[in-house]
Amino acid sequence: MSLLRFLLLALLAAVSLASCGGGSDENDGARQAAEPAQDVAALARQAFGPNKKARSGRIDGRIDITVKGARGFREPVALSMSGPYRGRQGAALPDYAIDLSVGDRGVGLSSVHGRSFVILGTTGYEVPAQVRRRLARSAARGANSLMRMLDQFGIAPWRWETNKRLGATEQVDGVPTVRVDTGVDVDRFLRDANTFAGVLSSLGVARANGLPRRIPDSARRILAASVRSAKGASWIATSDGVMRKAGLTIDFAIPQRRRARIGGISSVKVVAQVLVSEVGSTPKIAAPRTLEPFASLQVAFDALAEDVQR
């Protein structure tokens, strides 16, 4: 069952924070005629490249995962991630305060003025320097604050998107945007999920939730070869080039002969959406007032791990 729990959390992180998108209807009457491919590339450069307009905002994501064929997953599982981020000039990491919820369990992740924290309740536990340096090295690959926010976790939608096509001009929360429809390189997506798993492991979060350190290569290959459909879309603002909305739909259908190797799963459906709002705002992001040593967090996580294993 640990593999299943990992898939739920990894997909949440990789999709909810991602800017690759959620499928749109190919017969949408609002679709406009496709424009030259270089215009799609220009939109991608604005969204994923240097862009001062993406320096701050709020991320709100939700994902629903339906698993069939495995005991314990009779109902869809809902997951969410939300909170503000704010870039700082010259900073290795943006400031942020993210709430991550999986079912009835939640944990906070934050970075404030050069310090990073895992938060349980109202208590913060400062992340060890070597872990923060790892996050900072990954974040440095991002070309703007929103991308650095994602890349610190190994989440890079531009590595997953395929076959980009211009869609309609649409309003998202009152902002004019252009929809870009895409395919999804699912194997690349799952590889990035493994990078995120390494972050969770270094923080102790993986063990607390009964999660393995990574998706085994054999399971990843089975999933990547069992994609029935995968489509996405992202909505990029015409005024500033900042991604305002994204979503993703992936259907996996596992062949009968391979199900025993992946916990009995016969199918998985992932439906996700993320909204980016309050772009250009100045969110107030403060360090936790109550601090405890990181070692104390591991004690708490050990207790949670024992509860998960019961």
Q: Is 65 inside a domain boundary? A: yes
Q: Is 146 inside a domain boundary? A: yes
- Domain count along the chain: 1
Region of poorest pLDDT, from 62-76, 228-242, 279-293? 62-76
* Rounded Cα distance, 300 and 153, in Å: 23
Q: What number is the average pLDDT over the span 237-263?
A: 91
Q: Which residue has the higher pLDDT, 216 or 87?
A: 87
**Residue 9 pLDDT more than 90?**
no
**Residue 54 pLDDT more than 90?**
yes
Query: What digits encode the pLDDT tens for the residues 140-151?
Result: 888 999 888 888
Query: Per DSSP, what are the bridge partners of residue 182?
Result: 232
Region of poorest pLDDT, from 1-15, 83-97, 113-127? 1-15
Q: What number is the average pLDDT over the span 39-65?
A: 89
Q: Report the CATH number that the domain containing residue 168 is assigned in CATH.
A: 2.50.20.20
**Residue 184 pLDDT more than 70?**
yes
Average pLDDT, the chain: 79
**Residue 242 pLDDT more than 90?**
yes
Nearest-CA neighbor of 184 among 22, 31, 16, 61?
22
**Is pTM, for the whole model, over 0.75?**
yes
**CA trace torsion 180, 186, 188, 189 (10° rounding):** 80
Q: What number is the average pLDDT over the span 9-33?
A: 42
Report the SS3 class of residue 305. Answer: helix
Say what the pLDDT of residue 64 is.
81
**Tokens 């495995």 belong to residue:** 70
Q: Is 289 inside a domain boundary? A: no
**Residue 33 pLDDT more than 80?**
no
Region of poorest pLDDT, from 120-124, 225-229, 240-244? 120-124
Q: Is 288 inside a domain boundary? A: no
Q: Is 310 inside a domain boundary? A: no
Q: Is 301 inside a domain boundary? A: no
Q: Is 294 inside a domain boundary? A: no
Q: What number is the average pLDDT over the span 279-283?
A: 94
**CA trace torsion 97, 238, 49, 86 (10° rounding):** -20
User: Given pLDDT bands bounded at 50, 70 and 90, which one contains residue 301?
Assistant: low
Residue-number span of the structural domain to which 90 is assigned = 2-282
In this structure, are strands 123-126 and 290-292 parallel, antiparallel, or unpaired? parallel
**Residue 70 pLDDT more than 60?**
yes
Q: Is 60 inside a domain boundary? A: yes
- Enter the tokens of residue 159: 């590595």
Percent of the chain at pLDDT > 90 equals 34
**Residue 230 pLDDT more than 90?**
yes
**Residue 276 pLDDT more than 70?**
yes
Q: What does the angle CA 141 – CA 144 – CA 146 come to, to the nearest 5 degrees?
A: 100
